[in-house]
A = this chain, B = another copy of it.
Amino acid sequence: MRDSDIPAIRSLPLFNEMAEESFTELVRGAYVQNFPPHMELIVEGDPCDFLHIVVDGSVELLANWNDRETTMTILREGATFILAAAIRDAPNLMSARTLERSRVIMIPAEDVRAVFEKDHAFARAVVMELAYCYRGVIKGVKGLKLRSSIERLANYLLKLQKKMGGSETFTLSVEKRRLASILGMTPENLSRAIKALRPYGVEIDGNKVSIKKPEDIRVLAKPTPLIDDPRS
């Protein structure tokens, strides 16, 4: 582990309230690794040995069943993953693989559980993080069950625009095939959904998106904080 990584980790919500001593204990046992793109970090079903933190790059969480595969989400720097499995000492429900060259910190799950027992501030942070993730997944289910694929796409774009600062033009940070899978559709269908949004002033060329008529697409998307607000 590089010393230069430490402040970045310490500043994450999960770690920034805990006692220095506990933090040191966690860091002591931690590994840092640089992974090449498309590397499988975790295979679904494996026991959960480490809590992972993305320091740099991006990691895909995905799931398989019966030769089918779906992308659950994509994580970027600062995100932690498989916290729930680490805490419960249960098998991982999702696989993880890098999308690009990525730097990942791995803290032995056992250490996480041990520090969790000792440090109340950390326990508090774990609960907040878990509750946050839980609510995120609930929002995802609501989107899947209540919206058509075009509506999901429209809302995804509005959300991304906001995240990117709100300007008319911004860029997709995810491959379209993966975006399709996240949104619960096929790549072919995503292509068509994109065309279907053209009358609403949405233009997508490569990974450049521009939203010409924000009012129009909002009428279609009908975003609500109860599904689309990543905070709260």
Which residues, 12 to 63 on A, are CB-close (under 8 Å) to B? 44-45, 63
Q: Kindly state the separation between the CA atoms of A226 and B140 in the bound complex, as whole angstroms.
A: 19
Which B residues are CB-close (under 8 A) to A108? Answer: none
Which residues, 177 to 232 on A, are CB-close (under 8 Å) to B? 184, 222, 224-227, 232
Instruction: Assess the A131–B88 pair: CB atoms within 8 A.
Output: yes
Instruction: Assess the B93–A138 pair: CB atoms within 8 A.
Output: yes
Q: Kindly state the separation between the CA atoms of A126 and B131 in the bound complex, as whole angstroms.
A: 10
Q: Kindly state the separation between the CA atoms of A150 and B3 in the bound complex, as whole angstroms.
A: 53
A141 contacts which of B85, B120, B141 (Cβ < 8 Å)? B141
- For A45, give the chain B residue with the smallest CB separation: B226
In the complex, what's the smallest C-beta–C-beta distance from A84 to chain B, in angstroms?
4
Stretch among A64-72, A157-165, A168-176 lining the B interface: A64-72
Task: Flag whether A144 is at the interface (Cβ < 8 A).
Answer: yes
Instruction: Assess the B134–A84 pair: CB atoms within 8 A.
Output: yes
Which B residues are CB-close (under 8 A) to A145? Answer: 63, 70, 144, 184
In the complex, what's the smallest C-beta–C-beta distance from A187 to chain B, in angstroms?
15
Task: Flag whether A135 is at the interface (Cβ < 8 A).
Answer: yes
Instruction: Assess the B66–A146 pair: CB atoms within 8 A.
Output: yes
Instruction: Assess the B135–A133 pair: CB atoms within 8 A.
Output: no
Q: Kindly state the separation between the CA atoms of A132 and B131 in the bound complex, as whole angstroms.
A: 11
Instruction: Assess the B135–A138 pair: CB atoms within 8 A.
Output: no
Which B residues are CB-close (under 8 A) to A106? Answer: none
Instruction: Assess the A91–B226 pair: CB atoms within 8 A.
Output: yes
Which residues, 124 to 149 on A, are CB-close (under 8 Å) to B? 124, 126-128, 130-135, 137-142, 144-147
Task: Flag whether A87 is at the interface (Cβ < 8 A).
Answer: yes
Selected A-B contacts with CB under 8 Å, 23 pairs: A44-B226, A63-B145, A63-B146, A65-B222, A65-B226, A65-B227, A66-B146, A66-B222, A72-B141, A72-B142, A85-B131, A87-B131, A88-B131, A90-B135, A93-B138, A93-B142, A127-B127, A127-B130, A130-B130, A133-B134, A134-B137, A141-B144, A144-B184
4 closest cross-chain pairs (CB), A and B: A84-B131, A65-B146, A70-B145, A130-B130
